Amino acid sequence: MSLFNPYGIFIFLGLALIILTSLIVVPFAMYRLIRFRKISLPLGIAALLALPVFWNVLTEIVLGGENVNPRIDSREQLIGLYSNGDQSLKLNADGTFEAKGLFPTTSGKWSNRDWSLTLSNTGLEKPRIITINGRFCIAPFYAGVDVDTGVILRKEGD
């Protein structure tokens, strides 16, 4: 969405209005419900409609969110051990990797181009480097933004 197309500013203002309304309506409805133990039908309907938006905004603020296209300034930022339970992937400075519990191949060479990661001899189509709350992670079985990322390996020591 571009603010410079003829309708971009209206779309932006509309979304901003929806978010601001949800941030006002939901707490007000909760206050009325707690204080007076009743709520008007229109306010209740408005609160139910605004609740998903309110929840998404709140979790994005509190949790920081996930970034599937993180900025990677240097390869050195990626070097280290990534793990999730008994699954782990270690990216070494010399361009080799060691894996445990992820795929039959336990070692090979790795490289990255921006946030796309290539792990040789693994058969993986497009492992992805992401960040969660500002912390580098690897989604080895990444299939797209609209699909569950599956296993997330978090970088240790950050």
Residue 69 has pLDDT above 50, yes or no: yes
Strands 153-155 and 66-67 come out as unpaired
| Measured distance CA(130)–CA(138) in Å, rounded | 6
Tokens of 76: 């050195």
Instruction: Please state whether beta strands 96-100 and 128-132 pair in parallel, antiparallel, or not at all (unpaired).
Output: unpaired
Q: How far apart are CA 122 and CA 105, in angstroms?
A: 6
pLDDT band at 10 (very low <50, low <70, confident <90, very high): confident
Between 26 and 97, name the one with better pLDDT: 97
CATH class of 75-155: mainly beta
Highest mean pLDDT among 14-23, 95-104, 118-127: 95-104
CB atoms within 10 A of CB 11: 13
What's the confidence (pLDDT) of residue 145?
A: 66
Q: What pTM did the predictor assign? A: 0.58
Average pLDDT over residues 96-100: 91
Average pLDDT over residues 61-86: 80
Q: Nearest 5°: phi and psi at 125?
A: -75, -50
Please say if the pLDDT value at position 3 is more than 50.
Answer: no
Tokens of 157: 């020591």
pLDDT the model gives residue 130: 85
